[in-house]
Structure 1
Amino acid sequence: MASTGTLFLIFAVTFIREGNAQNTFVNVNCKENVGQYGQQSLLECIVQTTSEASDIQIRVVTWRRQGADKPALVFHDGRIDPKSSFTFAEPSWNNKNMNVSVLIPNTRVADNGRYTCMVMTNSGDGKGEVNLKVTAKYSEPIISSIPEKITPGSNGELTCETHGGYPKGDIRWFVNDNTDWTKSSKMEVKGAQDGLLHLSSKLPLLHGSIFSKYTCIVYNATGGKEAEAVFIPDPEVEGRKASNGSESTSKVVAPVVVIGSLIVGLLLALLVYRRRTRKARRPSTAPLMDGHTEVSNRDDEESGAQEMDGKQQNIV
């Protein structure tokens, strides 16, 4: 512990001294990087020297994350501090290797941040900075409903949940033909002990406005789509709605069929009655005996009529 404290004191004094002096021989150039949670991440820094410097040898290298209590890697006096959590990216690294990049073996959310790489050589000192952005992909979302069966005539609520992501993402809701319904929802963010985040979004459902399809989509911090889930109201509810519709239709159709049958029956009866009436009024088609008989019959009718007139006159 005493040797470590002495080493830190030497570093501090050395960098304060070098910070007050002009150094044009050594530069440390670093590149920004993105690290994936649970995987290996690279912090890349290269020492560059001017042509005036020759036979450069590195004496001290220290990597530190801003805000951390201890450095992540320390090289001093020809050896690497065994307590360092990082390793050099070059497996056979030595004090003449200008590639001072380091590897993070198992990236955590706590590794997210800005790092400083300070290098002391026999020709001068330099410092570089690099920012590590740790990301973690969110899990497949799960949608649950309250009540368990959503009915058109009652209120309800859908909840979409996803976890294991970083940094803070977003949950959006879409209904039917991809109409954005996110404004009606409310999202909550919770952190776990490992620094990963849990997202939960609640979407209230009002009776009379139940859609046929709900889609929950998870987006990462940069706005990229990561995963989605679909919720469709209970098929039994749809079946009941369909059956209720058919029952209503049958209630309307049945009286119409009965009335139609009565009208058809009345029309048929009327048609039969008219046919019978026409037959009753039609004259006989039996052939006459001959022309004389017809004339004789007419004479008899006329004489009968004259006799009736004579009787009426005698009575008068």
Structure 2
Amino acid sequence: MEEQLPKMTLAFPLLVLFAVVFIPQCVGEGSIIGIIGEAAILPCELTFMTPVSIKDINFEWRAEGDIVDAFVKGHHELTHQEKQYRNRTELFITELSPRNLSLKVSHISPDDRKVYECWFFIDEDRNGYLDKWLLKVAGHYSEPLIKGPAKIDLRNRDADFTCAATGGYPEPKVHWFINQKMVLPQSNRIKTTIKNISSEEYAVKSVLTINMTDDTSVYCTVENELLKEERKSPDIQYLIKTKNEQQRGDRRHWWIAVIVAVALLVIIVVIAMAVFRSRNNSASSGSSCDRTQQQGRREQEQNPLQPINAED
């Protein structure tokens, strides 16, 4: 036992060093979200401590057993690439960065939702994956459009509000808010319809029915849980008058009408009096002028002009 101890002591560090230097290590395993129509990058990096030459590197990306992209002895190898990924992949490995084995997939679509593995090959007996990623696919929804009924007297009536959005992926959730308070999604006042417009996008339409008993502010949101994104519609506000308020308003309108009518009547009376006085003044001035003229004629008749004597 004493003679074997030194051998065991030397062998253990060598095994550890071999494992660190030559055996690939899994450095990441998780999920990445790719946006429909855009590109997604799946990271993968060699973690070996020894120098690496690009000519000695062999690796490939796989998805459910299919070859997505490959690199063999310094060359990009596409012979066995799956048709789905042709002209859509890109590798980042170069002589200056031989440890970067990341993969770029362009023009993401829902069909790309798979588990992708980055495999590194040392030889036939030693191989494995460095990274393993689940590529999730999502799309942004448009800003919700909200519509309400015409702004007539809605007091104590049911009113329908409609919320709509398109272009997103996967299926969304619609939330309604009345006076800043969320309406429970399972409420029987809400009817939501989701349609698959194409393989890459959904359209959602939700209708909320409210009994209008008070002033009401309504808006909706469309949530994409995968993107942790929630888009909000504009607010719609309706002011509902109570019966007392309406009666007060009616009385106020009645008094205004009375005041206007009285004012018009006063104006008419004032104008009529002014016209009457003006006519009286004209008539009186005309009669006095006639009397003066008649008196003058009588005086002339009574006192005719006398001839003037030369002696005078």
- TM-score per shorter chain, which class? 0.5 to 0.7
Mapped pair 1:87 → 2:90? yes
Q: Identify the residue that residue 125 of structure 1 maps to in structure 2.
A: 127
Q: Identify the residue that residue 146 of structure 2 maps to in structure 1.
A: 143
Mapped pair 1:71 → 2:67? yes
Mapped pair 1:205 → 2:202? no
Contact 1:163 1:197 in 2 (8 A): yes
- Distance, in Å, in 2 between the alignment partners of 1:30 and 1:79 is 24
Given residue 181 of structure 2, which amino acid in structure 1 is its aligned partner?
Answer: T
Given residue 117 of structure 2, which amino acid in structure 1 is its aligned partner?
Answer: T
How far did residue 246 of structure 1 move?
A: 4.6
Contact 2:197 2:203 in 1 (8 A): yes
Contact 2:34 2:40 in 1 (8 A): yes
- CA-based RMSD of the aligned residues comes to 4.1
- Distance, in Å, in 2 between the alignment partners of 1:40 and 1:138 is 18
Q: Structure 1 residues 35 and 251, CA, compared in 2 at 3 Å: closer, same or farther?
A: closer
| Cα-to-partner distance string for 1:133-158 (whole Å, 9 max, x where unaligned) | 3332221001134x555633533321
Match of 1:27, SS? coil
Mapped pair 1:180 → 2:178? no
How far did residue 172 of structure 1 move?
A: 1.2
Alignment counterpart, residue 232 of structure 2, candidates 211, 220, 228: 228
Q: Structure 1 residues 113 and 246, CA, compared in 2 at 3 Å: closer, same or farther?
A: farther
Task: Give me the TM-score of the superposition, normalised by structure 2.
Answer: 0.57
Given residue 99 of structure 2, which amino acid in structure 1 is its aligned partner?
Answer: M
Given residue 102 of structure 1, which amino acid in structure 2 is its aligned partner?
Answer: L
- Distance, in Å, in 2 between the alignment partners of 1:37 and 1:223 is 12
Match of 1:63, SS? strand
Q: Identify the residue that residue 110 of structure 1 maps to in structure 2.
A: 111
Identity of aligned residues (%): 20
- Distance, in Å, in 1 between the alignment partners of 2:252 and 2:88 is 77
Task: Give me the TM-score of the superposition, normalised by structure 1.
Answer: 0.56
Q: Identify the residue that residue 47 of structure 1 maps to in structure 2.
A: 46
Contact 2:177 2:219 in 1 (8 A): yes
Alignment counterpart, residue 61 of structure 1, candidates 52, 59, 77: 59
Q: Identify the residue that residue 99 of structure 2 maps to in structure 1.
A: 98
| Cα-to-partner distance string for 1:44-67 (whole Å, 9 max, x where unaligned) | 01123366x97685554322223x
- Distance, in Å, in 1 between the alignment partners of 2:121 and 2:55 is 9
| Cα-to-partner distance string for 1:269-297 (whole Å, 9 max, x where unaligned) | xxxxxxxxxxxxxxxxxxxxxxxxxxxxx
Contact 1:141 1:229 in 2 (8 A): yes
Give the structure with higher Rg (CA): 1
| Cα-to-partner distance string for 1:236-256 (whole Å, 9 max, x where unaligned) | xx69999954554359989xx
- Distance, in Å, in 1 between the alignment partners of 2:26 and 2:157 is 66
- Distance, in Å, in 2 between the alignment partners of 1:230 and 1:44 is 40
Alignment counterpart, residue 25 of structure 1, candidates 20, 23, 26: 23
Contact 2:216 2:238 in 1 (8 A): no
Contact 2:88 2:107 in 1 (8 A): no
Q: Which runs of 5+ in 1 are unaligned?
A: 1-21, 255-316
Given residue 63 of structure 2, which amino acid in structure 1 is its aligned partner?
Answer: R
Contact 1:56 1:121 in 2 (8 A): no
- Distance, in Å, in 2 between the alignment partners of 1:54 and 1:80 is 19
- Distance, in Å, in 2 between the alignment partners of 1:226 and 1:162 is 12
Q: Structure 1 residues 63 and 148, CA, compared in 2 at 3 Å: closer, same or farther?
A: farther
- Distance, in Å, in 2 between the alignment partners of 1:137 and 1:55 is 42
Match of 2:44, SS? strand
| Cα-to-partner distance string for 1:98-151 (whole Å, 9 max, x where unaligned) | 321011222233323321122223593221311223332221001134x55563
How far did residue 164 of structure 1 move?
A: 2.0
- Distance, in Å, in 2 between the alignment partners of 1:79 and 1:251 is 85
Match of 2:101, SS? coil
Given residue 173 of structure 1, which amino acid in structure 2 is its aligned partner?
Answer: W
